[in-house]
């Protein structure tokens, strides 16, 4: 009619791909209304006459219309995207966190952006900086950032941290007590009186937290407890503690995580020690593969999937509050850890 029919315009993008996707303007033309009416029909149900709304929906379907998220994000400032920042994608601890997060996000109509810091605080800050502009909120999983950096991020966008507690920032942390107490009781019942804790990285908030609870609860069961570490939270990290474990004279070990537990178990078996005959081992987290070993690993399960889910839900709440929603109290269903008894714990038989 006016300038051009826009049939097969050779303009700009879509160089060799099929026609560029339909816009609300196309719909408007087809339905004979104003673009703004289309926008309202599509995003404000009820604002528009039912009859017109139907017509618009029909046109939209006919043109196979998809809303352009960028175009919406620009004026509204909301991207419907959440960022998940992990220390190390290949650490199995994260698998379930990611899955839980993905579920919660997609349930809420949000998309997940993933970034990895490769265990480096610097790279993490960089990654956060990079994705921050395109997300509505951010979840940090076992972050390597210092409190100050975390606070600064939290000031810019809704932010939730997993496995860490920072004053003034929402943190999702499992309830460590139940699992640890069950483990302690379990070991006590098996007759162990001297146990060790294999601690993780020196700067790990989680490792400290676990150690402190052990420290607070072991004595009342008549058990002595020693810390061995800090160590790298890996198979080798666990393996390397063997000599110190043997030297310490303990009969049972709780490890910072399953990887260390498995590493220690392997080293022990290779050196002729039987598990659990001569040494009982308890892991932490119940990661994928912790039941592959012989004996299968007894471990304190962390509800990682739930944690991921909760973190996202909390982030969504924060976003909501930010845009004027009621600051409804955080859903405080507990996230208890729990002992999973398998084969790596038992009485001393030797």
Partner DNA sequence: CGCAGTTTGGCAACCGGTTGACAAAATCGT
Partner DNA sequence: ACGATTTTGTCAACCGGTTGCCAAACTGCG
| Residues in contact with DNA by the rule CB under 7 A | 12, 20-21, 23-25, 32-37, 39-40, 42-44, 47-53, 65, 67-68, 71-72, 74-76
The entry of a second copy, DNA, none near residue 24 (CB within 5 to 8 angstroms by kind) is DNA
77 binds a second copy (CB under 8 A): yes
Q: Which residue, 43 or 203, has its beta carbon nearer to DNA? A: 43
Would you count residue 69 as binding a second copy (CB under 8 A)?
yes
Pairing type for strands 194-198 and 170-172 reads unpaired
294 binds a second copy (CB under 8 A): yes
Q: Among 268, 185, 254, which residue's Cα sits nearest to residue 226?
A: 254
Among 44, 47, 61, 130, binds a second copy (CB under 8 A): 130
The radius of gyration of the chain's CA atoms, rounded to the nearest angstrom, is 27
Nearer to DNA, 2 or 332 (CB): 2
- C-alpha to C-alpha distance for 133 and 205, rounded to whole angstroms: 28
Encoded tokens for 43: 């995003």
Q: Residue holding tokens 């939270």? A: 233
What's the min distance (Å) between Cβ of 42 and DNA?
A: 6
C-alpha to C-alpha distance for 164 and 226, rounded to whole angstroms: 24
Q: What is the dihedral of CA 240, 242, 243, 245, to 10 degrees?
A: 130
Q: Determine if 95 is a binding residue for a second copy (CB under 8 A).
A: yes
How do strand 111-116 and strand 81-86 relate by DSSP bridges? parallel
Residues that bind a second copy (CB under 8 A): 12-18, 21, 66-71, 73-74, 76-79, 81, 84, 89-90, 92, 95-96, 98-99, 102, 106, 111-116, 127, 129-134, 155-157, 262, 288-290, 292-294, 322-324
């Amino acid at each position: 009619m006016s300038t051009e029919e826009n049939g097969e315009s050779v303009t700009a993008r879509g160089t060799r791909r099929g026609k560029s996707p339909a816009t609300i303007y196309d719909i408007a033309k087809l339905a004979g209304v104003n673009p703004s009416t289309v926008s309202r029909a599509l995003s404000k149900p009820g604002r528009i006459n039912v009859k017109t709304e139907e017509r618009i929906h029909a046109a939209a379907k006919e043109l196979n219309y998809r809303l352009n998220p960028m175009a919406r994000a620009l004026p509204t400032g909301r991207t419907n995207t959440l960022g998940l920042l992990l220390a190390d994608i290949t650490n199995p601890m994260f698998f379930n966190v990611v899955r839980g997060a993905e579920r919660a996000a997609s349930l809420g109509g949000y998309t997940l952006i993933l970034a990895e810091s490769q265990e480096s605080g610097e790279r993490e800050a960089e990654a956060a900086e990079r994705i921050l502009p395109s997300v509505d909120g951010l979840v940090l999983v076992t972050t390597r950032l210092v409190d100050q950096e975390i606070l600064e991020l939290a000031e810019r966008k809704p932010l939730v941290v997993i496995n860490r507690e920072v004053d003034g920032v929402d943190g999702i942390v499992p309830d460590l007590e139940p699992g640890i107490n069950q483990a302690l009781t379990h070991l006590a019942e098996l007759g162990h009186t001297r146990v060790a804790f294999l601690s993780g990285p020196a700067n790990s908030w989680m490792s400290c937290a676990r150690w402190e609870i052990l420290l607070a609860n072991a004595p009342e069961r008549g058990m002595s407890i020693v810390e061995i570490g800090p160590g790298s939270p890996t198979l080798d990290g666990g393996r390397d503690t063997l000599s110190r474990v043997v030297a310490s004279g303990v009969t049972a070990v709780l490890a910072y995580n399953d990887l260390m537990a498995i590493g220690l178990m392997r080293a022990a078996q290779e050196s002729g020690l039987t598990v659990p005959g001569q040494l009982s081992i308890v892991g932490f987290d119940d990661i994928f593969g912790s039941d592959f070993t012989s004996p299968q690993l007894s471990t304190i399960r962390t509800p990682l999937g739930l944690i991921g889910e909760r973190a996202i839900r909390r982030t969504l709440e924060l976003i909501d509050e930010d845009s004027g929603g009621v600051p409804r109290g955080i859903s405080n269903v507990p996230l208890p850890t729990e002992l999973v008894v398998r084969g790596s714990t038992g009485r001393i038989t030797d």
